[in-house]
């Protein structure tokens, strides 16, 4: 009876902690969203732009929305594959983890809070590994952003030497920094399994081993498959951005879009920001980069803002619903 009472008390305490965590995240996320809505200055232009959109252009918007589940599915599959050496989770639980991560990422710098939502749906003994794997997940997406973005940025510079943004000092300084980051991230990513294998052979504190032991069992094929999933997801949200630009009437051909969109994502990725403020940063870079191919500044700003709404705000709402309707203590069983 005493053991049952202790177990019940521990479960109650964990439930209280979960409720505090859940409501804190919800409050912070919605406060930041409210702040962005108040600060948005283009409601009049948005309304007038919607009035000018023809019926046929709505298919572009439907295309963006229909690709949203593909975006979530790819990220869920990637997370499931990443954690499978530590814990076998089904697709439903992987999806819940990813959605909760969107919520907790919304109000933190460079979305580092994403890991808090994701690891909440792992077993307690696997959460240290989950923290490490969340960082690995971010590294893979950043590697893809750099691999696709650097060649596009070079082409952008060569084709727009006279643009405001493509000054030699601006470009080459940023180019060298991003190349350095790419080499560093790639080196870290592909050296993780052998490096961790050597570290495990040394006598280290168990609390540190629990963080990194999960990385030792990944093969080169595993790492490449995870990168492939990141690349497929990159293609999805890049195409979404293109469709959104066309929806708002931005006249940009396929080649220009293939240069401008990866370049924009490259600069957005390696600029420190919070998810709730990323719309402003994304809009600024979009105007500078995409604006070099099209002078439709207002439409570019609206497209950038709306793609942020679809790929960040909508998942944040879904993540809020997931966290309200599920409980890690029950989900993990």
pLDDT, tens only, 28-53: 777 777 777 777 666 776 677 666 77
Give Cα 243 distance to the centre of its chain.
19
> For residue 239, what are the CA distances in angstroms to 47, 148, 285?
24, 14, 17
What is the phi/psi pair of residue 274, to 5°? Answer: -110, 150
- Is 39 part of a structural domain of the chain? no
pLDDT value at position 86? 87
Q: CB under 8 Å to 89, separation ≥6 — which residues?
A: 80, 83, 97, 121, 122
**What is the distance between the alpha carbons of residues 13 and 265, in angstroms, rounded to a whole number?**
43
Is 285 part of any domain? yes
pLDDT score for 267: 86
Looking at the structure of the chain, the number of domains it has is: 1
The predicted structure's pLDDT at residue 288: 85
Q: Is residue 74 part of a domain?
A: yes
Q: Is residue 162 domain-resident?
A: yes
| 303 domain-assigned | yes
Residue 208, pLDDT score = 67
Is 21 inside a domain boundary? no
In a domain, residue 1? The reply is: no
309 domain-assigned = yes
User: If you ran DSSP here, which 8-state letter would residue 274 be given?
Assistant: B
Cα(222)–Cα(6) distance, rounded to whole angstroms? 42
User: Which pLDDT score, from 0 to 100, does residue 6 have?
Assistant: 44
For the whole prediction, is pTM greater than 0.85? no
Range of the domain at 138: 44-331
Tokens, residue 197: 């294998």
Residues of the chain with pLDDT under 70: 1-14, 18, 23, 40-42, 45-46, 49-51, 161-175, 197, 199-210, 272-279, 327-333
């Amino acid at each position: 009876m005493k053991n049952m009472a202790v177990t019940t008390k521990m479960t109650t305490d964990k439930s209280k902690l979960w409720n505090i965590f859940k409501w804190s995240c919800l409050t912070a996320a919605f406060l930041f969203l409210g702040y962005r809505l108040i600060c948005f200055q283009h409601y009049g232009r948005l309304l007038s732009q919607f009035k000018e959109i023809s019926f046929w252009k709505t298919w572009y918007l439907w295309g963006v929305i229909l690709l949203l589940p593909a975006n979530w599915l790819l990220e869920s599959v990637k997370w499931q594959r990443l954690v499978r050496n530590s814990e076998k989770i089904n697709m439903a639980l992987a999806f819940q983890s990813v959605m909760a991560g969107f919520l907790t990422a919304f109000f933190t710098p460079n979305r580092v809070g994403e890991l808090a939502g994701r690891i909440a749906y792992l077993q307690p003994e696997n959460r240290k590994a989950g923290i490490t794997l969340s960082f690995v997940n971010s590294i893979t997406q950043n590697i893809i952003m750099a691999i696709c973005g650097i060649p596009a940025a070079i082409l952008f510079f060569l084709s727009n030497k006279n643009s405001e943004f493509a000054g030699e000092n601006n470009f080459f300084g940023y180019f060298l920094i991003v190349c350095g980051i790419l080499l560093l991230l790639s080196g870290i990513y592909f050296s993780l399994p052998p490096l961790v294998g050597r570290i495990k052979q040394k006598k280290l504190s168990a609390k540190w081993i629990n963080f990194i032991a999960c990385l030792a069992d990944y093969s080169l094929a595993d790492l490449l498959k995870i990168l492939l999933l990141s690349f497929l997801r990159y293609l999805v949200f890049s195409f979404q951005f293109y469709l959104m630009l066309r929806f708002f009437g931005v006249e940009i051909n396929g080649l220009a879009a293939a240069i401008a969109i990866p370049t924009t994502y490259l600069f957005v990725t390696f600029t420190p920001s919070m998810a709730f403020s990323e719309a402003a940063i994304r809009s600024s870079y979009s105007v500078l980069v995409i604006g070099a191919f099209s002078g439709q500044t207002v439409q570019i700003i609206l497209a950038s803002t709306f793609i942020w709404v679809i790929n960040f705000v909508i998942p944040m709402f879904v993540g809020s619903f997931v966290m309200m309707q599920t409980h890690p203590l029950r989900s993990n069983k």
